[in-house]
Every structure is written in C-alpha cells, then in structure tokens.
Structure 1
C-alpha cells in the first residue's frame, strides 16, 4: 500500500515505498540491513528525475542532491547527460515502520528522508523472481540506459509510471560532495569488486549489539556476551585468561608498568576509577608546558594556546567518532552535564529521568534544575544490580511509554516528545555509559534508541567511558555525551570532552560560565559581523591553567606507545573479570554481574564478607570511614559502597596491576570486614566534615 501522507507512523498495517540508489539497491544488502528475507516486498527498476548522484568526499557511498544544488556545486564546464540528471535506482514497496527504523539507522544523520516523485520503469517482482537488472544493479549501468521511447512504451503498464516514494537525500554541506557524478562502474573499478562483496563496515550501524532488533527491549537474548564467555560461579581467577599482557614491540603489562607512574613502591592501587592516575611522562610534559607558558604568558595566552586546544579536540573527536566541530573541552563530566541541562529551556510538564545509580552530584544537579523550574519534575528509575541489560531496558521503556507516545520520525534528527497526556512528557533521560557506584556498564546505546523512539533527549554521563570501552557517538546517535579524560585516558586532572552534535548545538547557547565568545541575537556586538558558534563558547571562559587540558594529547600518544586502545582495554577488562572471580572464591561471596558478563568493563564489583548492616545513615558513614582508614593503613584502596541492601567493593584494573594485587587487597579487606563485624568502627566519633565527604561519594539513591 502506498502511503499518501507526509509522515510515517508506527502502524502494523501501514506500508511504505522507498527509492534506493546506492548500496541498498542490492537485495542482499537490503536483506541484511532489515534483518529478514524481504518476503512481501516488491522490487522495480526506477528513475528519480531532476536529481544528481555524487561521490561523498573520502567515502565510497553516494549522495543525491536536486538540480538547483547541482548547479551551485558544479565545477565542470560540460553539460550533464540525461542519465546523470536522472538517478537510476530501485523502487521497493511494502516496507514496514520497523523496516524504516532500521533504514534510518543505516543511513545516519548525513541524510534527510523526503518523499519525491519517482518513475517506475519495470513491473514489480518479488524477491524470489527478480530480473537481472534488479538482482545485480551493476547490469543496469554496464548496459545502455533504455531509450525514452522504450520508457514511453512501458508507461501505462501494470504499476509502471509515475508514483511517489521516500528516499534519502543529502543533508550536509555541499562542500562534502565531489562535483563528480557517482556511478557503479567507477565504484567497481576503484574497489575491484562488485556490490556482492561490500566492505563489512557498511553494516556496522545496524548489526552491532541489539540494533537489528525490532525495537529496544522488545525481543532478543538477555544482555551481551562477555569477551571471556559465560561465568562459572565456582571458578577461580585464572592467569591464563588474562589477555593482552604481552605484545611484540611493546612493554609487558603488569607490575613492571608501575615504573611509569609515581606510586609509592609498596602502594597497591586498585582504585584508578575514582580520580585517574597520569603517568610520570604526562606530568613531566605538563610541567614543561607550564614552564613554557610562564616564560612568556602574554604570548602563550594570546597566540599559542588555541592551536594546541584545537589539536586536543581533533584527537579526542577521532577517538569517539565525532566531528571536530562537535567536540569541546570542559573541566569534568559533572561540569559538562550541568552545562547541557542548565542551557535547556524547560516547559511546563517536562520530566527529567535519571537512575538510582546516577552519580550523586548529577542527581543533585537535576534536583536543582527542578527547584529552579517548579513546572518540571524528576523521576528516578530504581535499578538494583546485578540485573541484566534487558531488565534495565524494559524498566526504561516502561517509564518512557507511560508518559510519551511513540514519536513520529523526525528527520531533522531533533527530539520532539509528545505526551500520552497533554500536561506531561519525558523531555530528557540522563543515563550512565558506565556508572560510578556500582561500577557497571549500562546499555546506554539501547537507552539512546529508546529515547529516539519516544522523542526524549538522551544525555549520556560517560565519565568512565573514554579509555575503558570503545565508543562511537555517531553510531549511538546520542543527543549529548560527556566523558572524563583524566580517568581512563590517563591525562592529568581535570579535563573532559563534551560532545554535542550539530543538530543540538542551538540548545546549548552558552558555556558555563558564559564566555567572551557568546553572541547575543538581542544585543549583537557592534561593529563586527560575528555569528554565534558553538565551539567558540568554550575557547575562553576565563583565565585558567591550560596544562591539564593539553595533557590529553600526550596521554593519547603514551597509550599508543604501550600498545594502543584495544590492547589496554582487553587487558584491563580480562584482569578485572579474573580478579573478581579470585575475590569471590576467597571470600565466598558474589560478583556483581550477569551470567553473560555484560556489566563488567575494567571495574569489577564484589560483595564484601562479614560486614553487618548499618543501623542508620550515621552508622553507615562510620563503617565507611573505618573501611577507608584501614585501607590507607594497608597501603591499598578500593571504593566500598552500599547497594541493594549489601556492602560491595569496586576494584579498578589497570595496566600496572597483576592478578596477585587482588590477592593482596583481599587479605587486607577481609581483616577490615572482620573489624567491622566486631564493632571496632564504633569507637571513633563522626565529625561534620566526614559526613559531608561521605555524602559526596553516594549515588543519587542508595538502593
């Protein structure tokens, strides 16, 4: 059934027609993207008039633009042929709403979907009886295009002639396209292959974990598989299962790496996650930069700083899959999340959703925003770990569907929620990539997709992400994303990357504090033409020490010198997994994870033995203080916390750690826990500054 409306709705009965002109012309590719055999779809040779198909600079895939834009971008003097001004492709009829959702993921934010007139050149056929020109699109371009007379003869045949169909047109700047007309022949010559042998990365957007499912939280297996396989609850940690310890041409990971850090010889650091630990060489280079700054402060502050800052932004943007103009540096993740939420204009009935494990300062920030805007409120999703990613997704969807209708696809990419009731709707969801306490991986990419489904903004607190897990913000397509570089990336404290895609930059009008780069539409700067630009808001927010920010460049180079991101992540993850198993066996307790290991990255959470339940919050603070003091005495430290009515400890694995570091800490901590059981902590008074310090470390809601 041909859709005659201008929108696409979530309907089981509605079907949609699409015109494809690039990789999706190939039925095998379409089958893989949609995740089904294309039964019920029909295929026709077709033509899109008055559009031209161009090469995207630096890419092998094409984009189409209309004739007006073609004339603007044209750089060659010759006249376009009739074939070039009419895009040849495939008309596919019968697609569902779910199919459209997956197509949107595949095409990405560079394209805008529009409904255009299309000329069908052949009768429809199903996937089991495709003509040669449909099953192998290259044949259409290796042979002569049909003459206009032949096209006229077909006009008026069964389902042949003019119709309307959705297609994806280029939405980015014309400067990203080549004037050259894209063709199948050129592609084949360049790649020495055919469309049947496409590069694997054509499918990564829809084939990564759970993206090919109908909708997040509706179906599929629980969670994702860990790199170390399913868990045996009786297994001990095994040295042989720690991967990445050695690599040819690079130093061995383990205790020998401590020479690169300034730790005391007898200090066993298993708490890297809290504040990060810059290597000695980073500190040395930062001090050298500080000396350079002080040798001529005026020259540095007026001339030298900006190219270095831009290099930081460029390097970090490459790491997370963003464009440089979408990335700025801020002091820390809390600062970045605050900047985003404080800039948003809140409407009456808006709801901000957070989780019970949301970092305490971020939770307090959301409360502050609601206090300042009494017409809005917050809602907390109470998650108790260990639980599966599927359960978190289902909890999240239950809340989103309670307040929001399924959003109509909006191909500006902007989130526009519509409430089930007119007086309230979820406007934003703040979700961790990896929570702080407990230190567990969230299914944040699935939560982002749920936010899109229900029209809510996704704000990702990724404080622990960069350097600990692989990230591609374009594939997740989140609305905002912030991550500390001084934690797992090894730069100096503090510095964080704030990612805001171009589509959302108008929402974040000012840095915090407002900088000299701000430009008011109401009170424009006199005498100059200076349009507002997102990046310029963060270039100069006041006099500051640039050295920690600039250490990010050196940290990235250091990580490359010891084996690179994948090796570091592999070692830290597998060491955390095996260390957790070692502790569980020693203590006879449990690891906070699912059978498939989907919660653990480089931080592992293990339930503490022997510790009694606190009588009240004051008693809990006393227990915590005793635990920390005894860790200091034992020359080690791990982060203890209370969750789900139990005491846990979070262990951070790093390249300087060995498995026997977990053994050392296990013995120290078990003695501490026995002391807690015997009430030794009760002898110390609880001072006011101690209460304030312990509150600072608590999550939003101590489950």
Structure 2
C-alpha cells in the first residue's frame, strides 16, 4: 500500500519554499548532499552567465577577486586566516590532497577510527599499499556513553611509529561529534599530526580552526552551509603548507608571482573548471544567517533541538534506546533499528521507505549490534510532523 502525505497531515515549514526540494518527498537526509536554497542558486546562475558572457575577461580579470572575496568570508566564518585556506570540490579531495602529498616509509603508522568515512578510509588503504605504511584503527564503541571514550580509544593506539591521525569531526555513519580539540591536543603532545575530515562540520558546528589547532582540516560547504555542490575547503597550517600539493599540478607550480603563497597559487588554478560554487559561499553564509533573528547561532540551536526531539520520538516509537549522549549530536542523529526490522538490509529498508512512503532518509549498516542504523537530519525546512510520519511508517513496516 502506498501512503499519501495527506494521510498523516504533514505540516510544512514556512522555510520550505526557499528550497527547490520536491514537496511530495519527506526529505530527512540533508546530511548526505545538502540542499541549496533558491536564492543561492540564483546567484550561481548570475555568475555562470557572467562567465559565459565574456570568458576571457572573467578568468583574466574577474575570477581571482571573486575567489579571494569568497575565501575571506569563509575564513572569517570558520575561524581561519585567509592564507590558510584553499578551495577544493569536496572534503574527499581535501583528504586525498594531503595524503598524496605526504611521504610515508614502510612501518610508519597512520591512525584512524572504525567510524571513518569509507571513501577516506579507501584513500588511507591506497597510501598504505603504495608506501608500506600500516593503517591502525582505534575502535570506538557504539553505542557510546561519553566523548572521553573517543579520546581514550584513539590515544591508546598511538605508538612511536604513528605519523598521522585521520580523525572525523562529525562521523558520517553514526552522526557523532568527536571531542576534536582535545583529540588534537592529545595527539600533538605525542608528536602526531592531525588530518581532520570535517565534511559535516561547517554550518553545523561553530568552527574556529585556529583554536582547534589541527595540522590539516577539510570541510564541505555544500552540506550544512548550503552552498552549491562542489564547494569545499582545505585548511593547512602555515608551517606545513610547503609540503602540500594539489592532486592536479598546473600553472601555479612555476608561477613567478610573489603576492600569494605557492600553496594558494597551486590550489587556486588547477585548470579550467566552474568556480561559481566557491563564489557563492558568501551568499550562502549570509542567506542562512538571515533566516532567524539570532542568525547562525539560533539556526544551529534550532536544528540541534529538532533532531534531539526527533530522535526521542523515534526511539520511543520503536522501543529502542538512544545510542549516544546529547552532547555528541549536532544536526544529525542515529537511531538503532529494532530486531523486528533487522531482517532487511540497509538498501531494502531505504527503498521501502522511499517507494512506499515518499520518505528520503539515510539507512546505515553497522559492523556489530545494532546492525542497522537510521540517520536523520534536521534543517530549518524540516518539521516535527515529518519525523512523526517516519515513525508511523517504520511501525507499519514492523507489522508487515
């Protein structure tokens, strides 16, 4: 049986019309790819028209000032110096750029966790296979009772051979906010550099990269910052910038310019592409910050409270326990699926919810009990009624 949205009297958010999302879909997965507001897309279209109207003038005269302005606004937003940031199309590219630039010897150890995003774990394995380095995995329990369990698990795996630690800021599979600043400090005290996969953090968490102190940090702007797709950044501490090269070597490698660092000259121009996603970041920052009287602070708090409320009602409906403390949650939360739904794999449960109920939500396989997790997201266009609808759909599937 296919349920209609009206059967559950879904209340829409007054902010929904600011996005282009399909109104027939209950969209609870902002975390995977984000969603770009209409106003930001309109600016991107203007920039693309400007580019195509006179491509030579655009790339010769207009491109760099626009890029530098975007970098300046982003640096202020994430608490970094403008000279510490370059743009990359996504956080996975940022992670690969650092890993491919560094030199590892046989028996060097690269530390990560069992919550690491699959794409970045693949990059680690690739580097290990090429260099003879060994990937060491810190096992962080899930469900989890305290952020200190993360610190303890990571620190216990550090050895004299540990060269680098790849750490999530917000985990993709389990939606946990790691105690990043403490982790960075503990690792630095042991002589270990940190590469932070902050894919979900910009816009979800109030960032100050200089305070965090990581050696390298990469984050997406297309997720919770709501910029267009292919907008992300790589932060590299100044004392390490001479080591880090882009994946594509281009004109910046031998540029005679001295007004910018080699780090920015190389990353800023890697060949002809569409730079408009980066140039829309200031608009995205300003637009999202204008939606509520309290700006970004109120937006983050609103999304945080909504996802906690949604997690609680889902856990109650499914008779399962919350798997982590509230302090480890931002705008995403994971709910363990009960044993009555574990006969489904993650794709079949996702597809049933989408095909039968028009619900778009992330379903995640996990490596141990609970074997199946559901990750919900909360953005300003979401409402409590949408999560109630999800709960009703899950109960219906339990009974089927």
SS at 2:309's partner residue? Answer: helix
- The correspondence for 1:295, drawn from 49, 53, 75, is 53
- CA separation of 1:266 and 1:453: change in aligned 2, threshold 3 A: same
1:417-461 deviation per Cα after TM superposition (whole angstroms, max 9, x unaligned): xx2xxxxx1000011110000111111111101111100011110
Query: CA contact under 8 A between 1:337 and 1:482: conserved in structure 2?
Result: yes
| Equivalence map 1:32-111=2 (5 Å) | none
Aligned to 1:361: 119
Give unpaired runs (5+ residues) of structure 2.
1-10
- CA separation of 1:503 and 1:657: change in aligned 2, threshold 3 A: same
Aligned to 2:279: 550
Q: CA deviation at 1:658?
A: 1.3
- The correspondence for 1:535, drawn from 264, 275, 290, is 264
- CA separation of 1:652 and 1:532: change in aligned 2, threshold 3 A: closer
**Cα distance between partner residues in 2 of 1:289 and 1:673:** 49
| Equivalence map 1:227-266=2 (5 Å) | 255-266=13-24
Aligned to 1:464: 200
Q: CA deviation at 1:340?
A: 0.6
Aligned to 1:391: 149
RMSD of Structure 2 on Structure 1 (CA): 1.8
**Cα distance between partner residues in 2 of 1:512 and 1:674:** 51
Aligned to 1:515: 250
- The correspondence for 1:283, drawn from 41, 65, 71, is 41
**Cα distance between partner residues in 1 of 2:137 and 2:42:** 44
TM-score, with length taken from structure 2: 0.92
1:616-647 deviation per Cα after TM superposition (whole angstroms, max 9, x unaligned): xxxx7xx2222122222212111111223221
**Cα distance between partner residues in 2 of 1:627 and 1:612:** 8
SS at 1:591's partner residue? Answer: coil
Q: CA deviation at 1:264?
A: 2.0
**Cα distance between partner residues in 2 of 1:567 and 1:262:** 23
Aligned to 1:442: 178
Rg larger for: 1
1:260-284 deviation per Cα after TM superposition (whole angstroms, max 9, x unaligned): 0112222211100000000011111
- CA separation of 1:354 and 1:291: change in aligned 2, threshold 3 A: same
SS at 2:156's partner residue? Answer: helix
Structure that is richer in helix per residue: 2
Q: CA deviation at 1:539?
A: 1.4
**Cα distance between partner residues in 2 of 1:607 and 1:591:** 8
- The correspondence for 2:169, drawn from 433, 449, 452, is 433
1:587-610 deviation per Cα after TM superposition (whole angstroms, max 9, x unaligned): 11122212xx22211101111234
**Cα distance between partner residues in 1 of 2:334 and 2:257:** 55
**Cα distance between partner residues in 1 of 2:398 and 2:114:** 26
Q: CA deviation at 1:254?
A: 6.9
- The correspondence for 1:380, drawn from 123, 134, 137, is 137
Give unpaired runs (5+ residues) of structure 1.
1-252, 404-418, 420-424, 520-524, 615-619, 676-703
- The correspondence for 1:639, drawn from 337, 362, 366, is 362
**Cα distance between partner residues in 2 of 1:543 and 1:342:** 22
**Cα distance between partner residues in 2 of 1:465 and 1:371:** 30
1:439-493 deviation per Cα after TM superposition (whole angstroms, max 9, x unaligned): 1111111110111110001111000000001111111111011110000001011
SS at 1:517's partner residue? Answer: helix
Question: How many residues are matched?
Answer: 383
**Cα distance between partner residues in 2 of 1:626 and 1:340:** 36
